[in-house]
Amino acid sequence: MRISAALSALVALALALGLACAADAQDRRVAVTFDDLPYQAADAALCDPASLMRLTTDFVDMLRPLDTHATAFVNEGRVCAPTRASTLARALDLWLDAGLDLGNHTADHVNIHDIAADAYLANVDAGAPVARSVLEARGRRLHWFRHPFLFTGETPEKHDAIVAGLAARGYDVAPVTIDNNDWMFADVYRKAETLGDADLMRRIGEAYVAHMTTVLDFFEPYSAELAGGREPAQVLLLHANSLNQAFYPRIHALYLARGYRFVTLDEALADPIYARPDAYVRANGISWLHRWTHTEGRPIRWEPAPPAWIVAANKAPAADLAAIAAAP
């Protein structure tokens, strides 16, 4: 599905409004990142070359006219081994052809809490060959890494071992400042897709866009508190899935309307705030804004949760989705 003319017009309108209204606003910048490449889909789709290329083409075609400068993080092990080298390379080339960048997200989206540090780093290594190959073919280097679940280690020893291992491999960790739980909305959206309920899909998408507004209302002043009154460059965490296939243009328009410029991950991380130490060692994955707040010895203020019906629907089978959505 290519971006519609209506959404193109919406993005253009948002840009005009953003330029008109942001004259006195802060210099807002955001680096967009997409996790879980090649796509959050059923394993069968990822093991069928035609399906994988169709999903990738449609998603990249949606992004191409928006000029996001996005970076996408790959789980190479999600593509079946017999077709991985050839099909995944072709899919990743589509991202690079669109001016986007790539990073490593481990081979299998492993949970750092379930394995030792050396096994985790081995999975990092297993997640690199195809992405490294397509980047090197263009004279570029695989250097970005994103922790699955944003888990960085539940003990100081494991945390420090993985920090050292990633550095020894030449990786730069891609932090996240804005996380709006899009994975949860995406799970509910996929359930509505299986039901063929277009009205419910639209309602979920509308709730997703509205929640992003609420999240920005929270994170913008919260980040400014950490940065001495100015808003630092943000890093937005999203995922490559059918929800964002349909609704990312609305998210993009929202950021434009709030005066954001879309920048590369390199440019965002040049902001001085990213030089701050992160001493957060816990079993949960959270925004780096929270990590820095904790490191400075101040209490974390948590961002708004998704709507209660989305939380409930995420935990329920697809058969219960309509009833949950209809509940007051």
pLDDT digits (tens, 9 = 90+) for 259-314: 999 999 999 999 999 999 888 898 789 999 999 999 999 999 999 999 999 999 99
Cβ-in-10-Å burial (0-12, 13-18, 19+) of 268 comes to: buried
- Higher-pLDDT residue of 3, 245: 245
Nearest to 55 by CA among 63, 67, 64, 46: 46
pLDDT, position 83: 84
Percent of the chain with pLDDT over 90: 84
Q: What integer pLDDT is reported at residue 26 of this predicted model?
A: 76
pLDDT confidence of residue 103 = 98
Helix, strand, coil content of the chain in percent (nearest 5): 60, 10, 30
Contact 114, 85 (CB under 8 A): no
pLDDT of residue 43: 84
Average pLDDT score over the chain: 92
Q: The tokens of 314 are what? A: 């995420």
Query: Could you tell me the pLDDT band of residue 25, with boundaries at 50, 70 and 90?
Result: low
3-state secondary structure of 43: helix
Give Dmax (Cα) for the chain. 56
pLDDT digits (tens, 9 = 90+) for 103-162: 999 999 999 999 999 999 999 999 999 999 999 999 999 999 999 999 999 999 999 999
Residue 222 main-chain phi, psi, to 5 deg: -60, -45
Q: What angle do CA 167, 279, 170 make, to 5 degrees?
A: 10
Lowest mean pLDDT among 5-14, 30-39, 121-130, 316-325: 5-14
Residue carrying the six token digits 């040049």: 270
Q: Which residue has the higher pLDDT, 59 or 24?
A: 59
Higher local confidence (pLDDT), 326 or 133 = 133
First to last CA, the chain: 33
- What is the SS3 assignment for 25? coil
For 192-230, what is each residue's pLDDT tens digit? Answer: 999 999 999 999 999 999 999 999 999 999 999 999 999
List the alpha helices (DSSP H) in 137-181: 156-168
